[in-house]
Structure 1
Amino acid sequence: MSVSDLAQQISDEDVVAKRAEALDGVLHHASPSEVIESALRIVGRERLALVSSFGTESAALLKVMADVDPAIPVIFLDTGWLFEETLAYRDRLIALLGLRDVRSIRPLDEALQREDADRELWFSDPDACCRFRKVEPLRRALALFDAWINGRKRFQGGLRAAIPVVEAEGLRLKFNPFANVTPAEIAAIYAQAKLPPHPLAASGFLSVGCMPCSSRAQPGEDARDSRWRGRSKTECGIHTVETS
């Protein structure tokens, strides 16, 4: 990238950052459906995507989105290490909610062979494993979009405790419609819509990601405590590494 191109990108990123700040001010106390409606109106369906893990709380956000527009593209990162229960849950929710454009994105075959042919990288270097199984595939998938929606919540704690409703991520807007919701509000969405729980929720999983790095929660733990147990790692990287 030339100096002039870099300067232009910095300038463009500043514009996106100011736009995100202004939108966050307007939508700071908006309901999840209002946030999604605003994102759809501002960006347009063809340039907006929702990223979902189809995990233990995912059905609530997908339900709200489907009520707004079930044709908004949904990106699902199939890492190759997911529980069979998660894949079955994905298919069930697609049918139940009438989702029209769910895109299952996988790591490139050459990356799998180069980086993790023995499927042991999750143990020796979980950050590298997440990088090529999740961060890089998401970067490829989001190249088609100007903004994306995700399901992070402040009550999850850690790096998520102070997330805004709208933020900038390089040249892309990032909408967090569930930033302000409470566990009780999520439970209410499940109850009112009669949404099925993730199949592993009954077994004590509060948060479900890849098989090697997900575990049952212990009494008193938060959902994120059961991910990457015994390590300082708390995020897979898709929310901490710029995906523009």
Structure 2
Amino acid sequence: MSTLAPELAPARPDAAPSADALDRALRNASPAEVIAAARQAVGRDKLALVSSFGTESAALLKVMADVDPSIPVIFLDTGWLFEETLAYRDTLTKTLGLTDVRSIKPLEETLTREDPDRELWFSDPDACCRIRKVEPLVRALKPFTAWINGRKKFQGGARAEIPVVEQDGVRLKFNPFANVSREEIEAIYKLGNLPPHPLVASGYLSVGCMPCSSRASAGEEDARAGRWRGQAKTECGIHTTKTS
């Protein structure tokens, strides 16, 4: 496995290489090499992986665990997740030997003030995502200098042109699966003998919060088509809002 080139090493112990320099160096690297380089660039204690423990999450978590299972994993427990997702989190944590999975919930005072009747997902889904995902993630990432996520170019939309490394406010953001294919994801599952998300068997291609996730229609191949079905909304906001 390759390591970070000497010319990309930070000028100071508390600094990190630039996103542009890292992206140039890693744009053809394997996902494992990207994660290893991220750890080298900022240090394990300053690096976190954010996972939804959704239908494709096990692949990225498996690659990370093979590099270093002690890298902190942030899981946003929104209060609207399927029980199957919570169980899957526990299953993958044990299966992959993850040692630092942090389940982050929205603040109770925020929910009481802004969503007392739990109907915000219907009246204002962007605001619901903000208080249940975006704000908790910003809070959870405060101790970290960089974070890893599982977005892929083949998912299309705003994700079609994502780089391997980008600047996200004050943090580096690593996208180790940016260039992988569906077939490569499937191969990781097969080779790693990874359990599927329990809702895959029920027809879900992508799983988020219960009110905003639906089963795929017959012949539907877009993995994210079941999210916010019938709305123009395609992202929850954690990838379109800077985490500074």
Q: TM bucket by the smaller chain?
A: over 0.9
What is the TM-score with the length of structure 1 in the denominator? 0.92
- How many pairs are equivalent? 229
What amino acid is aligned across from residue 193 of structure 1 in structure 2? Answer: G
Identity, % of aligned pairs? 75
Output the CA distance in 2 between the equivalents of 1:103 and 1:220.
34
Q: TM-score, normalised by structure 2?
A: 0.92
| 1:241 alignment counterpart | 241
Alignment-derived partner of residue 144 in structure 1: 143
Q: Which moved more, 1:212-221 or 1:230-239?
A: 212-221
For residue 45 of structure 1, report the CA deviation from its aligned partner: 0.6
1:220-239 paired onto structure 2 within 5 Å: 220-239=220-239
Please give the per-residue CA displacement for 1:97-118, whole angstroms capped at 9, x wherever unaligned: 0000000000000001001110
Task: Measure how far apart 1:217 and its partner are.
Answer: 1.2
**Aligned residue identity for 2:22:** L
Q: CA deviation at 1:220?
A: 2.7
Report the AA paired with residue 72 of structure 1: I
In the alignment, which residue of structure 2 is the partner of 1:52?
51
Unaligned runs of 5+ in 2: 1-14
Shift of 1:170: 1.2
Letter in 2 for 1:74: V
After superposition, the CA RMSD in angstroms is 1.1
Paired residue for 1:86?
85
Any idea what the Cα deviations from partners look like across 1:33-87, whole Å, max 9, x if unmatched?
0000000011101000000000000000000000000000000000000000000
- 2:118 is aligned with 1:119: yes
In structure 1, runs of 5+ residues without a counterpart are: 1-14
Matching residue of 1:68 = 67
Hey, what does 1:213 align to over in structure 2?
A: 212
Measure the CA separation in 1 of the matches of 2:221 and 2:233.
Answer: 16
Deviation at 1:29, TM superposition (A): 0.7
Q: Is 1:29 aligned with 2:34?
A: no
Contact 2:170 2:243 in 1 (8 A): no
Structure 2 CA distance for aligned equivalents of residues 43 and 225 of structure 1? 35
The one-letter amino acid of 1:84's match is E
Q: Which residue of 1 aligns with 2:19?
A: 20
SS across alignment from 1:207: coil
Please report how far the alpha carbon of residue 148 of structure 1 lies from its aligned counterpart in structure 2 after TM superposition: 0.1
